Amino acid sequence: MAVIIKKEPEQKTITIAELLPEVIAIRKRGMRVCQICAAWVNEQFELSYTFANDGNYLLLTLRVVIDKDVEVPSITPIYPSAVFYENEMKELFGVKVENISMDYKDKFYRIEEKTPFGPESEDE
């Protein structure tokens, strides 16, 4: 029988101010960034930053709930590989992410409509 490593995913809700310190602490623990995702729920953006530890298969999610025009600092200075996730979030949802290391300025997906999944187009 294979040895199965079962770990329940953990989730933590934090504020924007705590985001960068938490991410630095996670980087020190040696985890890698898995995905960054945005959802428009209840008139607010719910950002989920997911990190994984490959030694014990732990999945840790940081949840940041913000309003529409709040600026979010980029985590690319800490995790350079997060650049594509943040560009996607900015382009498709209109989340204002600041200081991305390689900012494609809305040309990552080359789409015609601005922020198609974002709040303005939801009203149409």
Nearest distance from C-beta of residue 23 to other proteins, angstroms? 13
**Is residue 62 involved in binding other proteins (CB under 8 A)?**
no
**Is residue 61 involved in binding other proteins (CB under 8 A)?**
yes
For every residue of the chain, DSSP letters joined together read: -PPP-----EEEEE-HHHHHHHHHHHHHTT-EEEEEEEEEETTEEEEEEEEEETTTTEEEEEEEEE-TT-EEE-STTT-GGGHHHHHHHHHHH--EEE--SS--TT-SS--SSSSTTSHHHHT-
- For other proteins, the binding residue among 19, 33, 72, 97 (CB under 8 A) is 33
Q: Please identify, among the stretches 15-23, 64-72, 74-82, the one whose residues bind other proteins according to the rule CB under 8 A.
A: 74-82
- For other proteins, the binding residue among 13, 21, 24, 39 (CB under 8 A) is 39
Nearest distance from C-beta of residue 115 to other proteins, angstroms? 11
